[in-house]
Chain A
Amino acid sequence: MTNHWVDIKNADLIFVMGGNPAEAHPCGFKWAIEAKKNRKAKLVVVDPRFNRTASVADYYAPIRPGSDIAFLGGVINYLLSNDKIHHDYVKAYTNASFLIDDGYGFEDGIFTGYNDEKRSYDKATWKYQMGEDGFAKVDETLQNPRCAFQLLKAHYARYTPDMVAKVCGTPKEAFLKVCEYIAETAAPNKTMTNLYALGWTEHSVGSQNIRCMAIIQLLLGNMGMAGGGINALRGHANVQGITDFALYAQNLPGYLAVPSDAEPDLKTFLEKKTPKMLRPGQMNFGQNLPKWYVSLHKAWWGNAATKENGFAYDFMPKLAGASDVLSIFDQMYQGKINGFLCQGFNPLASVANKKKVSDALAKLKYMVVMDPLATDTSEFWKPHGEFNDVKPAEIQTEVFRLPTSLFAETTGSFTNSGRVIQWRWKAVDAPGDAKDDTEIMATLFLKLKDMYAKDGGAYSEPIQKLTWAYRIPTKPSAEELMMEYNGKALADVLDPKDPTKVLVKAGDQLPSFAMLRDDGSTTCGNWIYCGVWSQAGNNSARRDNSDPSGLGQTLNWGFAWPVNRRILYNRASADPSGKPWDPQRTVLKWLGDKWGGNDIPDMRPDAAPDQNVMPFIMTGEGVGRLFAVGLMAEGPFPEHYEPFESPLETNPMHPKNPKARANPAARVYKGDMEAFGTAKDFPYVGTTYRLTEHFHYWTKQSQINAIMQPEQFVEIGEELAKEKGIAIGDKVKVRSNRGFIKAVAVVTKRIKALDVDGQKVHTIGIPIHYGFKGATKPGFITNTLTPFVGDANTQTPEYKAFLVNIEKA
């Protein structure tokens, strides 16, 4: 979230699309209700199902799964053609005025630079025109046809209300009504908050769904405002924290770049990865990368990381190309992965195409499951009737299952979706011989270290030299670990403006990442968390919930990253002269000599407004990007592409270009393209969803949740039920080209058939929560049905739009 849960109460319009917070995030959704009650805020919901969020909305519009970009592109066109934008904001705080390279273009669904064999783009032209002064060229009048604003206008002119209705199946008047609600927040003192979740991410165009909203919020001037922003309602209680710590291949903690083969030494790496300033006088905060990166190596390899060896640059493994759940299981499927450690994760249930995942696991030599519960994954080799039809004798994988503790049995911190880090205390011991994840990882690591010291083997210096100053080596405590990743000064940290002044004494915990140095004199395991354990102690354990701002900022409750800032880009909540756009909801204002207000400034504290330091400090140009320079896989502007499995034969926006039917830059593995079904055999759209009584594949293990929602079902509309002769309570079989599930049919008015491009499209809703292990009735794994293809940027699988057929079982 750019904002936070309680801040939702400050909105004038709550726009929910791609999420269902009333059921999936009920205790956070109360803040939407507060906004309705106390501010007379409106709630607008766009979703394929009339879900419980829709049931309390002021307005609801239906949409076909997988057509969100067409809808949102239509909103962009509406705002531009009806002049419903926040002009001063757009001009000052976005790249609307930036001139784009003359080579950039877009034709029949494809942007410049496409290579259809590689299914990827050469992004060389997706950039700014650069002046002789080394800065990007701008046209303040926004009239130049090559400026981002004019290109945006031209790009979305095709997304007319009629086109939206044709592609999305949303009635035209419903679409226009939604536009009217959104357009009202173009007023400088009106804000819209956007709440989204997996309904946007789980598409082959997931990232571009969100990009559309970024464009809309920039046009409306809603970024940085109280009650504004783009707010991802995320998954697990610590999904934000685990993402921040980069438990994935493409980043290091704090979203730092990972060295690749193209950067053989530290100097080359830092030169390539440190962003350049694109407009004069901007903060370009990313220029501090060397300080963050060197401090990480110092935290991990201590004295072994010296200036001479590039701070042990070679100790960090270089990225080996794609690495994400889909690519990992594809590699496993091809027999290229021998071992698999699975920590609190149930991929047999949660990854697309269960059959492929199961076959992949069967090719492993060894697998280690660390989990508090007996998961489906840990028993992929065990027959469970038709729910898991396998032959153990044919599966040679050696499987270990290690019991771990649950939340109530450990101490440590979680980071919520609003980036607030909160400390938790252990209540009871874990049952039996179960151990904490930290003890398991520490013991395994120390054992390997010992074996390498005794027996030798492949390069083990990074293992031998890894810092390990824990009081009990096999049980590093949560306190020790938080202090370590916060970081400390190894030598006195001096004030660069006055070197006689010591800012932090050697040995002290660092108060903020502003103290990090690139000369090896500071350590920090995750720069964005720096300050969470300062000399003042554990700031994540603070429990003062007072709120003098009245905005719900509670600055003394826990600790938000970065530097306890609660609303990102908050400089944009004030006009260029430093006056709040809405004085009733002041987040930040210029006090004459410094920035102050109700938040930690997202700005250099002494940057006077006339210095023109712009609010989006992490970009080299200081402004928000309507035109995304060279970052997105499939284009600088979002374009509608059909889901890989679509009921339509062509993309209605580009009916003559088969290359532009589905995302041209999405990665599809051999065998998976062939496993896509067509509308001839699978005429209905399948979309997965979640129930309010269950959480993923986890609560099926809990008795009370199993009592509340005991059995797998699928939801179909009355019209389809009648057509198929299916009555409520009938057992049905739902098939995709990858397999089938059987479940009880629930016939409702909540999913209606839509008229899409002249054809009737039915959608079948499929809750995900069931499997063959748990307290619920044994069920089929829903992801038996889903396709093995992901978003072109994040590789998040397309769980929300695929093709199925249905019949009475």
Chain B
Amino acid sequence: MKMNRRQFFKVCSAGLGGSSIALMGFSPNAALAEVRTFKLARATETRNICPYCSVSCGVLIYSTGDKSKNTPGKIIHIEGDPDNPVNRGTLCPKGAGLRDMVQSANRLKWPEVREPGSAEWKKISWQEAFDRIAKHMKADRDANFVAQNKDGVTVNRWTSTAFLASSAAPNEAGYLTVKTIRALGMTSIDTQARI
């Protein structure tokens, strides 16, 4: 008895389990019978949330590797989390493209500076970036910090450097950000949430 691949699956799905194939009185070509495991079965599954709209759909991220220190993983697939009571495994056309967002050709990989008047970016180290930014911030804060208003009321504010915050950052990043910038005295603060 000869069967092609499609017919073989048809027969199997008609109610015959794999183990009963032999009972059918034939043994299919070896290559057809070989069971290929799903690629995802070997992947590491991580629960996360789609960062786009505020439905905040649960997602399952599948990556290579087992998260051990020397085997950096790579995301191979992202799909909706069927356990999540809101999205129940679905994703929309935005969320369906999540893997391409994580692996976008426009991801930034190192700190850069664009010097005044220049037309180009220049790669710099984190050390240099932090040093130069902190120097700018301190100079501006020291020059413009207002300890008291004109009526002598203590106000302790720094208005001349502004901060705009993301709405895609996790709560914990938002909390640390508001804690540190308020401690610095910043009041020119806003978030994407407004718009």
Separation of A244 and B170 alpha carbons in the complex (Å): 12
- Are the CB atoms of A401 and B140 closer together than 8 Å? no
Does B84 lie at the interface of the complex (its beta carbon under 8 Å from any beta carbon of A)?
Answer: yes
- Are the CB atoms of A401 and B111 closer together than 8 Å? yes
Q: Which residues of B contact A403 (CB under 8 A)?
A: 107-111
Separation of A339 and B162 alpha carbons in the complex (Å): 6
Closest to A253 in B: B178
Contact of A545 among B63, B84, B100, B157 (CB under 8 A): B84
- Are the CB atoms of B176 and A698 closer together than 8 Å? no
- Are the CB atoms of A243 and B171 closer together than 8 Å? no
Contact of B174 among A238, A318, A543 (CB under 8 A): A238
Does A88 lie at the interface of the complex (its beta carbon under 8 Å from any beta carbon of B)?
Answer: no
Q: Which residues of B contact A368 (CB under 8 A)?
A: 133
Does B23 lie at the interface of the complex (its beta carbon under 8 Å from any beta carbon of A)?
Answer: no
Contact residues of B between 98 and 131, Cβ < 8 Å to A: 98, 100-102, 104-119, 121, 126, 129-131
Does A342 lie at the interface of the complex (its beta carbon under 8 Å from any beta carbon of B)?
Answer: yes
Separation of A382 and B16 alpha carbons in the complex (Å): 65
Q: Which residues of A contact B47 (CB under 8 A)?
A: 424-425
- Are the CB atoms of B109 and A478 closer together than 8 Å? no
Q: Mark B44-76, 1 if CB is under 8 A from A, else 0.
A: 101111111111111001010000000011110
Contacts across chains A and B counted by CB atoms under 8 Å: 487
Q: Mark A107-151, 1 if CB is under 8 A from B, else 0.
A: 000000000000000000000000000000000000000000000
Separation of A407 and B156 alpha carbons in the complex (Å): 35
A512 to chain B, nearest CB (A): 18
Closest to B110 in A: A433
Q: Which of A97-105, A491-499, A572-580, A703-711 contacts B (4 or more CB under 8 A)?
A: A703-711
Q: Which residues of B contact A597 (CB under 8 A)?
A: none
Contact residues of B between 166 and 187, Cβ < 8 Å to A: 166-180, 182-187
Q: Which residues of B contact A24 (CB under 8 A)?
A: 53
- Are the CB atoms of B134 and A235 closer together than 8 Å? no
Closest to B65 in A: A428
- Are the CB atoms of B189 and A236 closer together than 8 Å? no
Q: Which residues of B contact A (CB under 8 A)?
A: 44, 46-58, 61, 63, 72-75, 78, 80, 83-88, 90-98, 100-102, 104-119, 121, 126, 129-134, 136-138, 140-142, 144-147, 149, 151, 153-180, 182-195
- Are the CB atoms of A237 and B161 closer together than 8 Å? no
Q: Mark A457-472, 1 if CB is under 8 A from B, else 0.
A: 1110011001000000
- Are the CB atoms of B54 and A236 closer together than 8 Å? yes
Q: Which residues of A contact B112 (CB under 8 A)?
A: 400-401
Contact of B185 among A233, A252, A317, A347 (CB under 8 A): A317
Contact residues of A between 410 and 439, Cβ < 8 Å to B: 410-418, 420-422, 424-429, 431-438
Q: Which residues of B contact A529 (CB under 8 A)?
A: 171
Knowing A338-B161, A343-B163, A437-B169 are in contact, say whether A705-B100 is a contact too (CB < 8 A): yes
Does A406 lie at the interface of the complex (its beta carbon under 8 Å from any beta carbon of B)?
Answer: yes
Contact of A699 among B74, B94, B146, B169 (CB under 8 A): B94
Known contacts A336-B159, A345-B191, A796-B195; 9 further A-B pairs (Cβ under 8 A): A238-B169, A249-B189, A261-B151, A373-B107, A428-B61, A458-B147, A481-B176, A705-B100, A775-B105
Q: Which residues of A contact B146 (CB under 8 A)?
A: 320
B146 to chain A, nearest CB (A): 8
- Are the CB atoms of A436 and B102 closer together than 8 Å? no
Separation of A774 and B126 alpha carbons in the complex (Å): 25
B76 to chain A, nearest CB (A): 10
Which 6 residue pairs of A and B lie closest in terms of their CB atoms, listed nearest first? Answer: A432-B109, A344-B166, A412-B170, A339-B161, A403-B108, A416-B56
Q: Which residues of A contact B138 (CB under 8 A)?
A: 448, 451-452, 457
Contact of A247 among B83, B104, B126, B193 (CB under 8 A): B193
